[in-house]
Chains A and B, each alone.
Chain A
Amino acid sequence: MSASIKSAPLVATLDSCEVLIVGAGPAGLSAAKAAASGGARVIVLDDNPAEGGQIWRRGAHADLPASAIALQQAVRACDAIRIVNSAKVVGILDAQTLLVETPEGALKVRWQKLIVCTGARERLLPFPGWTLPGVSGAGGLQALIKGGMPVQGQRVVVAGSGPLLFAVAATARKAGAKVLMVAEQASLARLTAFARKLPLWPSKLLQAVQLRDASYRTSSVVWSVQGQGRVQQVTLKQGNRMTTLECDRVAVGYGLVPNTGLAEALGCTLHLQDGVSAVTVNTQQQTTVPHIYAAGECTGVGGCERAQAQGSIAGYCAIGELGKARKQEKDRAYWSAFAVHANSAFVLDEELKSLPDAATLVCRCEDVSHGALLGHTNWTEAKIHTRCGMGACQGKVCGTAAQFLYGWQMPEARLPFTPARVGTLACAGGAPPDTNRVEP
């Protein structure tokens, strides 16, 4: 290796705050603004290079709505708020201290109130050929394009389920891709029922009209992908008919799954919603653990607008401004109703469970096939015998797939929550070096 390696100091920086927010998406930014409104010291941790979360992702090729830019600027301009970008929560040191890894080294953050805004990830389901380069998530492709991934002139098939598919196709087209098809697994009957009630949410109706797509097909599923070393061909099942298309990229995402790992490890109660775990909260966005709040997609997938309302309520409640929180309740109820409506339209078809064949890999990190997992009865047993979920992603992809395919529940996350440097883990033991902030 020719590059010089800058070694991180083995001493963690320590910082403390009244309100710590994990995640700087719509919920986290709204929570930060509300929590800092009374002068409380707020720290926001976010694992991406820039705040905004997935939906307001900045990048070389990203356009943001004016309201999102205004919120980001308001949070940036606030002296009481410290934003730490590229910060990954690695573990829990004690009841009120988190261990965090940043590009500058380890960081210990002590908090009095914590608001978990960890968002959601895409549900990626295995199908033959899904490990070929050129296959990505649907939201995954959108994120990659916003980061400058070249797709000019490429033939793309967008597939999976949910309203996100429209936005992905629009982003790909704008970047010069030729979108051959947007394949939605839900039936036309379900989508018609969904569309019929859209006038109740006029801004969503307008969005639907703006994003309408002539290549949109219902009851359509990516059945397999073929190619030598990369995607060359995709086979789709449309009703009872199989169609094969030559293409360069296939982007498939089956909706979103709440990121509940941190909240669960902190002891917060989860509940099942639409078949997946979500953080349980009360009307004040409080979890079942004192002083810990949660807002946005980690409390159940509900969209950007609901996340903002929940974030504001959590932020105000965390500083005891219950009156201000109450003013956001109407908004939250309005968007929660939309979430229930949208989630019911895009329920996954049981047929998707038959997508993988025996040779299809379910665990991409350890290359464990569907056939190797079929003989097992639960996650832990499968993990011990096959190494499923023991690779770098720590089961975040295959565990989510296994929950859908086999009904297996994953045990709660343990330190380190994400691959971390040894230098960071070394900081997990022992007493903090100083109660004041120590600069590396």
Chain B
Amino acid sequence: MTKTPLVLRVNGRDITVTPGTTVAAALALSGLTATRTSVNGEPRSAVCGMGICQECRVHVDGRVRLGCQTLCAPGMVVESMP
């Protein structure tokens, strides 16, 4: 695996990460505490880390994906759920 860092865009900001980094980690690296807002308006973040709880779902290149099961790719555009 190459270790050349890659750049992706998280909520309009460029973030540099190591290859193999998940989108869930990139969201945290961008300074974000919460990934989505619950139906009652509470902030939430990744819980299970393995694709079960769905708390880390975000838009990746315009499509809803789980942050914990998606690897960062060069030029990827990530937007957290409002």
Contact = CB atoms under 8 A, between A and B. Distances in A.
Interface in A126-151: 131-137, 139-144, 147-150
B18 A367 contact: no
B49 A397 contact: no
Contacts of B53: 124, 140, 364, 393, 396-397
A147 B24 contact: yes
Contact of B48 (A3, A58, A140): A140
Interface in A405-425: 419, 421
B22 A364 contact: no
Interface in A143-169: 143-144, 147-150
A144 B49 contact: yes
A366 interface: yes
Contact of A140 (B40, B46, B57, B79): B46
Interface in B24-58: 24-26, 28-29, 33-35, 38-40, 42-55, 57
Contacts of A88: 51
Contacts of B61: 3-6
What interface size band does chain B fall in? 35 or more
Contact of A60 (B25, B38, B77): B25
Contacts of B13: none
B49 A140 contact: yes
Contacts of A229: 33-34, 43
Contact of B52 (A134, A135, A367, A396): A396
A289 to B, nearest CB: 25
Given A1-B59, A133-B33, A147-B22, A140 B51 contact: no
- Residue among A54, A88, A133, A397 with the highest chain B CB neighbour number at 10 A: A133
A136 B47 contact: yes
- Residue among A140, A150, A396 with the highest chain B CB neighbour number at 10 A: A140
A330 to B, nearest CB: 31
25 contacts: A5-B61, A5-B62, A49-B69, A60-B17, A60-B19, A121-B50, A121-B52, A131-B38, A131-B42, A131-B44, A133-B44, A134-B45, A140-B47, A140-B53, A143-B50, A143-B68, A144-B24, A144-B46, A147-B49, A148-B25, A149-B24, A150-B28, A364-B47, A392-B54, A397-B53
The 3 A-B residue pairs whose C-beta atoms are closest, nearest first, are A143-B49, A147-B22, A148-B21
